[in-house]
């Protein structure tokens, strides 16, 4: 909702993309459930939904480009050997051949990357020291999220990324991918995540809320608006989702969004 309002307030387009490049982890019909929920809430997207599973040739083209530039190297480490960050660079200078069962890692450089997040403020991260050289093509041949998301942001002409703060620490790695491919960097704004008393994303523990969403979508929108630090007009109670969104788009104030990474739900209701 925060990204929708931010885009619409600026007169921009709002795009929906399905991150479905990891087949074992993609739940069947998850896409229709997600799109159905957006429609119930009146959150109408622009253009066609982009499925990352349709973009595999573009990802392998980017891998080829990075490889040709000497920025990648094959890694033969087993997953359990490198499960802890940062990757120590075991295979960096081994001159291994690319092949089945080997991942490809992108070389990182030492030094701190700084960027200004439009909600969370200035963020510093040392990708080389904290993450190390990271995988862009997995050993099973699948494209890693950092690469796919950067390629698609550019291809779709995304100028602004507004997403959950759980991805704030992924941003520096994505900036590194952009730089390695010679792509421009969009603006970023990371919204606080709504979590339950155990710190779990509320979107992952939806139960009662799913029913509430169907029966009272307007009430859900008003509740989320309050979490986003907006101050919805009391007269909006009982209004249609489209009226609430029209009001919220006109009055959207990014600067009012709480500058925190998580907001805890205090009661059992959204």
CA distance 112 to 124: 6
Q: How far is the CB of 69 from Zn ion (least distance, A)?
A: 20
CA distance 47 to 50: 9
Q: How far is the CB of 180 from Zn ion (least distance, A)?
A: 19
43 to 82: interface string for Zn ion, x by CB under 5 A: --------------------------------x-x-----
Among 43, 91, 136, 151, binds Zn ion (CB under 5 A): 91
Compare residues 91 and 270 and give the one whose CB is closer to Zn ion: 91
Q: Does 90 bind Zn ion (CB under 5 A)?
A: yes
Cis peptide before 86 (omega within 30 of 0): yes
Grouping H, G, I as helix, E, B as strand and the rest as coil, residue 150 is: helix
- Residue found under tokens 């020291």: 129
Longest dimension (CA), the chain: 67
Pick from 210, 208, 239: nearest CA to 225: 239
Contacts (CB under 5 A) with Zn ion, residues 115-134: none
243 to 262: interface string for Zn ion, x by CB under 5 A: --------------------
Q: How far is the CB of 3 from Zn ion (least distance, A)?
A: 36
Q: Does 139 bind Zn ion (CB under 5 A)?
A: no
- Interface with Zn ion: number of residues (CB under 5 A): 4
Sequence-ordered alpha helix ranges (H) in the chain: 2-9, 30-40, 56-68, 127-130, 145-155, 171-181, 208-215, 217-227, 241-251
CA distance 180 to 71: 8
Q: Does 169 bind Zn ion (CB under 5 A)?
A: no
Contacting residues toward Zn ion, per CB under 5 A: 75, 77, 90-91
């Amino acid at each position: 909702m925060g990204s929708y309002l931010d885009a619409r307030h600026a007169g921009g387009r709002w795009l929906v993309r399905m991150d479905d490049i990891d087949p074992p982890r993609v739940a069947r019909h998850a896409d229709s459930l997600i799109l159905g929920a957006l429609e119930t809430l009146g959150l109408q997207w622009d253009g066609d939904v982009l499925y990352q599973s349709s973009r595999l040739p573009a990802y392998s083209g980017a891998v080829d480009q990075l490889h040709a530039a000497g920025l990648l190297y094959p890694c033969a480490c087993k997953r359990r050997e490198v499960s802890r960050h940062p990757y120590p660079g075991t295979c960096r200078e081994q001159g291994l051949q690319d092949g089945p069962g080997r991942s490809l890692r992108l070389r990182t450089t030492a030094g701190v990357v700084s960027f200004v997040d439009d909600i969370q403020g200035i963020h510093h991260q040392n990708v080389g020291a904290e993450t190390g050289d990271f995988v862009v093509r997995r050993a099973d041949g699948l494209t890693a999220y950092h690469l796919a998301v950067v390629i698609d942001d550019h291809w779709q002409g995304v100028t602004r990324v507004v997403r959950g703060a759980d991805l704030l620490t992924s941003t520096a790695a994505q900036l590194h991918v952009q730089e390695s491919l010679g792509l421009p960097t969009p603006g970023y704004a990371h919204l606080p995540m709504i979590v339950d008393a155990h710190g779990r994303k509320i979107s992952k523990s939806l139960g009662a809320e799913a029913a509430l969403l169907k029966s009272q979508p307007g009430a859900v929108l008003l509740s989320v608006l309050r979490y986003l630090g907006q101050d919805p007009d009391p007269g909006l109670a009982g209004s249609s989702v489209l009226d609430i969104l029209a009001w919220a788009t006109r009055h959207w104030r990014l600067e009012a969004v709480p500058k925190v990474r998580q907001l805890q739900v205090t009661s059992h209701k959204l």
